[in-house]
């Protein structure tokens, strides 16, 4: 697809994230522990399933031809942020164990606790289980990569896809994922974060504008693909 999936509508999250716990703040109610980390090749089966769910959500399964194999051969070929990069969103009913595998020089996982009004039922918890001996499940992802503004003379990030599984929507997790990309862009002194939205998706547009984005009314995407692209094989 060519666009970020519509985010959760801009209804207020039931409760704001409380940040990392410290000795004085034990989460109450129904805490949802969330973590954003860099995806690895081991996550490809989950990523493939998430993309497929996104295609179903957008009624675009006829355009879905990605396979685990095609993802494996094109993703994770460059250091994080230099090319196609995926932040994975994981959730758990319990605090995350420290996993040094997910800490790198380029990115330290982000953890937030959301205090919910009730316990979430995830009907696909088994399918999206992350790791063997834990209750951690994969709840969403964002795929982005550097783009370039010649006017600014510097790079930015383009967000290709943002997706949160259905039972985790409307809680602020989509905003957390997009904020993570924006924060990373600022850290790297990049000039912009861009993505696209469908013009009729007024909820998404309102949500993005509330996050500080401008929607550019005049630009249209041009796409050369399929046989029309193939025609250029011997054109040069």
Site for its own copies in 194-233 (CB under 8 A): 194-200, 205, 208, 211-225, 228-233
Q: How many CB atoms lie within 10 A of CB 159?
A: 21
Rounded Cα gap, residues 213 and 160, in angstroms: 16
Q: Interacting stretch for its own copies, rule CB under 8 A, among 20-28, 117-125, 141-149, 164-172?
A: 141-149
Tell me which of 18, 80, 115, 145 binds its own copies, using CB under 8 A: 145
Residues 156-175 that bind its own copies (CB under 8 A): 156, 158, 160-161
Q: Of 158, 190, 208, 232, which residue is the catalytic one? A: 208
| Alpha-carbon distance values, 67 to 73, 75, 169, 228 (Å) | 10, 12, 26, 23
With binding defined as CB under 8 A, does residue 128 bind its own copies? no
Cβ proximity to its own copies: between 42 and 229 the closer is 229
| Alpha-carbon distance values, 64 to 67, 124, 221, 226, 229 (Å) | 9, 21, 20, 14, 18
Extract the runs of DSSP E, i.e. beta strands, from 47-151: 85-92, 110-116, 137-149
Residues 1-30 that bind its own copies (CB under 8 A): 1-4
Cβ proximity to its own copies: between 3 and 93 the closer is 3
Under a CB-based contact definition with an 8 Å cutoff, are residues 187 and 157 in contact? no
Residues 79-98 that bind its own copies (CB under 8 A): 82-84
Residues 29-68 that bind its own copies (CB under 8 A): 51, 54-55, 60, 63-67
Q: Which structure tokens are listed for 169?
A: 């929507």
Point out which residues pair with 75 in neighbouring strands. none
Cβ proximity to its own copies: between 42 and 152 the closer is 152
208 is catalytic: yes
What is the enclosing helix (H) or strand (E) of 45?
helix 44-57
Cβ proximity to its own copies: between 52 and 131 the closer is 52
Rounded Cα gap, residues 209 and 96, in angstroms: 32
- To its own copies, the closest distance from the beta carbon of 231 in angstroms equals 6
- To its own copies, the closest distance from the beta carbon of 103 in angstroms equals 16
Residues with catalytic roles: 208
């Amino acid at each position: 697809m060519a666009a970020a999936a519509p985010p959760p509508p801009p209804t207020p999250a039931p409760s704001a994230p409380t940040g990392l716990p410290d000795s004085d703040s034990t989460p109450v109610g129904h805490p949802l522990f969330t973590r954003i980390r860099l995806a690895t090749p081991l996550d490809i089966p989950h990523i493939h399933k998430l993309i497929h769910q996104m295609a179903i959500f957008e009624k675009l399964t006829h355009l879905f031809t990605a396979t685990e194999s095609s993802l494996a051969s094109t993703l994770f070929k460059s250091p994080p942020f230099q090319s196609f990069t995926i932040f994975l969103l994981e959730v758990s009913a319990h605090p995350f164990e420290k996993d040094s595998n997910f800490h790198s020089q380029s990115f330290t996982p982000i953890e937030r606790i959301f205090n919910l009004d009730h316990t979430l039922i995830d009907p696909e918890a088994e399918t999206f289980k992350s790791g063997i001996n834990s209750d951690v499940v994969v709840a969403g992802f964002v795929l982005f990569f550097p783009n370039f503004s010649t006017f600014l003379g510097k790079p930015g990030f383009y967000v290709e896809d943002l997706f949160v599984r259905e039972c985790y929507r409307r809680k602020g997790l989509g905003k957390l994922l997009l904020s993570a990309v924006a924060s990373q862009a600022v850290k790297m002194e990049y000039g912009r974060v861009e993505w696209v939205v469908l013009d009729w998706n007024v909820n998404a547009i309102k949500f993005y504008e509330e996050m500080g984005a401008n929607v550019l009314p005049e630009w249209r995407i041009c796409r050369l693909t399929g046989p029309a692209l193939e025609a250029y094989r011997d054109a040069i």
